Amino acid sequence: MNNRALSNKQILITGATNGIGLAAAEALAALGANLIIVGRSQTRTRIASARIKAAAGSGATVATFIADLSSQASVRKLATEVLARYPKLDVLVNNAGAMYGTRQLTKDGIELTWAVNHLAPFLLSMLLLHRLKESAPARIITTASQAHQGAHIPFDDLNAERSYRGSSRYGETKLANILFTTELARRLDGTGVTANCFHPGLVATGFNRNNGLLMNLAMTVLRPVSRRPEKGTAPDVANVSGAYFFDLEQRPPSPEAQDVEAARRLWEISERQCAISEVRSQE
Ligand SMILES: NC(=O)c1ccc[n+]([C@@H]2O[C@H](COP(=O)([O-])OP(=O)(O)OC[C@H]3O[C@@H](n4cnc5c(N)ncnc54)[C@H](OP(=O)(O)O)[C@@H]3O)[C@@H](O)[C@H]2O)c1
């Protein structure tokens, strides 16, 4: 791909101050994409922006936004600012994520891992959805993980009040990413907006980077964006929605992640947790 392969593509990526998100942003910018990067720290976001600009191909732009994705008010403010500034949005990459050793509650009273890893992508996608539909063909890509294997959604203890273990909770939220993608893709059918998620492989983020793995990641992020039927390349990939990718291949996730009823139930609960009726009334 040349350094203008993604020129004129407007791509928003969360968690672009470090690790996978930063590497993906650098790779996307190198292909000429116009990036909107979201970070929660002014300093880290400024440093990341400079790195991404240094890697950028001709014509690529990098804009920065500050948002703490653990706060629903902050996610709403971010979406309002992005909608006001960008009449077109081609790709939303929900990448920010974290694992916490101890149970903590957000300002909204939600367990922190659930808030950052699942509800933030859910709410941000909902708030930006009409702009993505207006920009179709468009994509929503969410960074999931093989850590979803063996996890179940604890529908009777969603806020992890009865039990909390950081790694188990993380797995539940990564399962939620896949179920969210499944239901989102179903709801987006026929709109020209696809929703997919992927496992980036095990990446030593922040340091000790493995270029092979990171290029795999960038390619996974890019593939559904950059290959278009009209260019005669991989139309099957361009039209795939609701899929889980691993090592550039579409793979079946765990049986729990293929439970469409759980996906619908989780969607309804997530709407309530984000007071999504207010979102609808704002559209
Ligand atoms: N690393 C792996 O092996 C691996 C494997 C499978 C899946 N993943 C997934 O890949 C994604 C990226 O993880 P990573 O490994 O690249 O981790 P990372 O290096 O720790 O980067 C995480 C990113 O998310 C941001 N973030 C965390 N909490 C946030 C919040 N409350 N508000 C806004 N931004 C927030 C971080 O911002 P700060 O710079 O401000 O901290 C950072 O930019 C995650 O969804 C993770 O679940 C990672």
Is any atom of ligand 1 closer than 6 Å to the C-beta of 206?
A: yes
Asked if residue 123 lies in contact with residue 75, where contact means CB atoms within 8 angstroms, the answer is yes
Report CA Rg, the chain: 17
Does 98 contact ligand 1 (Cβ within 6 A)?
A: yes
Whether 200 is in the pocket of ligand 1, judged by its Cβ within 6 Å, is yes
Measured CA to CA in angstroms, residue 107 lies from 68, 104, 165 at distances of: 11, 10, 21
Q: Per-residue pLDDT averaged across 265-269, rounded?
A: 98
Q: Probe ligand 1: pick from 13, 18, 64, 220, max atoms within 8 Å of CB?
A: 18
CA-wise closest residue to 112 among 104, 123, 124, 120: 104
What pLDDT does 205 receive?
54
Torsion of CA 5, 201, 14, 270, to 10 degrees: 120
Amino acid at 229: P
Q: Rounded CA gap, 226 and 233, in Å?
A: 9
* The pair of three-digit structure tokens given for residue 86, joined into one six-digit string: 């960008």
pTM (two decimals): 0.91
Minimum CA distance residue for ligand 1 atom 8: 145
Rounded mean pLDDT of the chain? Answer: 87
Given a cut of 60, whether residue 208 has pLDDT beyond it is: no
Angle, to 10 degrees, between the axis of helix 19-30 and the axis of helix 211-226? Answer: 60
> 94 CB less than 6 Å from ligand 1?
no
Which of 86, 100, 164, 170 is catalytic? The answer is: 170
pLDDT in tens, 62-106: 999 999 999 999 999 999 999 999 999 999 999 999 999 999 999
Please work out whether the CB of residue 20 comes within 6 Å of at least one atom of ligand 1: yes
Nearest CA, atom 38, ligand 1: 17
pLDDT value of position 153: 98
Nearest residue to 128 via CA among 85, 173, 97: 85
Lowest mean pLDDT among 43-52, 63-72, 231-240: 231-240
237-247 pLDDT per residue, tens: 678 999 999 87
Amino acid at 246: F
Q: How far, in Å, are 98, 197, 221, 222 from residue 227 at the CA level? A: 30, 17, 11, 8
More confident call, 43 vs 6: 43
Peptide bond into 137 cis (omega under 30): yes
- Report whether pLDDT(58) > 90: no
Structure confidence by residue, pLDDT tens digits, 145-198: 999 999 999 999 999 999 999 999 999 999 999 999 999 999 999 999 999 999
86 is catalytic: no
- In the 8-state DSSP scheme, what is residue 8? T
CA-closest candidate to residue 66, choices 85, 42, 83, 94: 42
What residues pair up with 139 in beta bridges, in sequence order?
A: 91, 194
Q: Whose CA is nearest to atom 44 of ligand 1?
A: 97
pLDDT of 231 reads 36
